[in-house]
Amino acid sequence: MNTSACNSVSLFTESPLELDSGATLSPVNVGFETYGELNEGRSNAILICHALTGDQYVASNHPITGKPGWWERIIGPGKLVDTNKYFVICSNVLGSCLGTTGPKEINPATEKPWGIDFPVITIRDMVKVQAALLDHLGVDTLFALIGGSMGGMQVLEWLATFPERLHSTIALATAARHTAQNIALHEVGRQSVMADPNWNGGRYYEKEAKPDKGLSVARMTAHITYLSEDALTRKFGRNLQSRDAITFGFDADFQVESYLRYQGSTFVDRFDANSYLYITRAMDYLDIAGRHDGRLADAFKNAAHVRCCIISFSTDWLYPTAENKRIVHALNAAGVPVSFAEIESPHGHDAFLLEEPEMDQMIEGFISAAAKARGLSS
DSSP state of 166: B
∠18-21-25 over CA atoms, to 5°?
A: 40
Q: How does 187-199 read in b/e, with b if 16+ C-beta sit within 10 Å?
A: eebbebbbebebb
Residue 319 C-beta: closest distance to a copy of itself, Å: 11
Q: Which of 60, 149, 192, 275 is catalytic?
A: 149
First to last CA, the chain: 23
- How far apart CA 24 and CA 29 sit, in angstroms, is 14
Instruction: Determine the angle formed by the axes of helices 212-226 and 273-285, rounding to 10 degrees.
Output: 40
Q: Which of 43, 316, 345, 350 is catalytic?
A: 316
- Which of 182, 175, 169 shows the shortest CA–CA distance to 48? 169
The number of CA neighbours under 13 Å toward the Cβ of 6 is 12
Judged by beta carbon, residue 105 or residue 284, the one nearer a copy of itself is 284
Residue 327 C-beta: closest distance to a copy of itself, Å: 16
Residue 253 C-beta: closest distance to a copy of itself, Å: 8
DSSP state of 91: E
Residue 322 C-beta: closest distance to a copy of itself, Å: 9
Residue 346 C-beta: closest distance to a copy of itself, Å: 13
Judged by beta carbon, residue 160 or residue 260, the one nearer a copy of itself is 260
- How far apart CA 217 and CA 203 sit, in angstroms, is 19
- Which of 148, 154, 179 shows the shortest CA–CA distance to 326? 179
Judged by beta carbon, residue 50 or residue 178, the one nearer a copy of itself is 178
Q: Which of 216, 253, 349, 350 is catalytic?
A: 349
Q: Is 316 a catalytic residue?
A: yes
Q: Is 349 a catalytic residue?
A: yes
- Which of 58, 65, 42 shows the shortest CA–CA distance to 91? 58
Write the single-letter amino acid at 232: L
The full 3-state SS of 54-66, as one line of letters, equals CCCCCCCCCCCCC
Binding site for a copy of itself (CB under 8 A): 20-23, 116, 119-120, 177-181, 183-185, 187-188, 190-192, 194-197, 213-214, 216-217, 220-221, 224, 229, 232-233, 235-238, 246, 248-250, 252, 254, 256-257, 260-261, 264, 277, 281, 284-285, 287, 290, 317, 320
Judged by beta carbon, residue 151 or residue 202, the one nearer a copy of itself is 202
∠170-267-201 over CA atoms, to 5°?
A: 105
Judged by beta carbon, residue 6 or residue 120, the one nearer a copy of itself is 120
Contact 275, 31 (CB under 8 A): no
Contact 70, 95 (CB under 8 A): no
Judged by beta carbon, residue 223 or residue 374, the one nearer a copy of itself is 223
Residue 144 C-beta: closest distance to a copy of itself, Å: 31
Q: Hey, which residues are catalytic here?
A: 149, 316, 349
